[in-house]
């Protein structure tokens, strides 16, 4: 690794950005319920379950950035984490 380059984080430490908001928790819980029900149905019907992590990440980015016009990667991360835990 090149030792001369200084690390520059995506979100600086001095910037205050909301991460755990009511909107992110509500959307995450809704995604968790939907993907949990889909996995239960598929598991019982077909005997196969799918990972909810990637679809939850894509849907969270779409909802947070496009529909709600927020530009917070941290909120999207919380939504994806809660959604994939379901």
Within-domain flag for 15: no
Within-domain flag for 51: yes
pLDDT: is 69 or 58 the higher one?
58
What pTM did the predictor assign? Answer: 0.77
Q: Are 32 and 83 in contact (CB under 8 A)?
A: yes
Chain centre distance of CA 52: 10
**How many domains are contained in the chain?**
1
Within-domain flag for 9: no
Please report which confidence band the pLDDT of residue 26 belongs to, taking 50, 70 and 90 as the band edges.
very high
Q: What percent of the chain has pLDDT over 90?
A: 5
Please report which confidence band the pLDDT of residue 30 belongs to, taking 50, 70 and 90 as the band edges.
very high
Its domain, for residue 43, covers: 22-85
Within-domain flag for 7: no
Please report which confidence band the pLDDT of residue 29 belongs to, taking 50, 70 and 90 as the band edges.
very high
Within-domain flag for 47: yes
Within-domain flag for 17: no
Within-domain flag for 36: yes
Residue 2 has pLDDT above 70, yes or no: no
């Amino acid at each position: 690794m090149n030792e001369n380059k200084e690390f520059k984080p995506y979100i600086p430490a001095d910037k205050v950005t909301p991460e755990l908001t009511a909107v992110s928790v509500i959307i995450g819980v809704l995604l968790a319920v939907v993907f949990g029900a889909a996995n239960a149905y598929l598991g019982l019907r077909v005997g196969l379950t799918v990972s909810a992590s990637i679809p939850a990440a894509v849907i969270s980015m779409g909802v947070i950035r496009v529909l709600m016009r927020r530009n917070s990667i941290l909120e999207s991360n919380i939504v994806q984490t809660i959604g994939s835990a379901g």
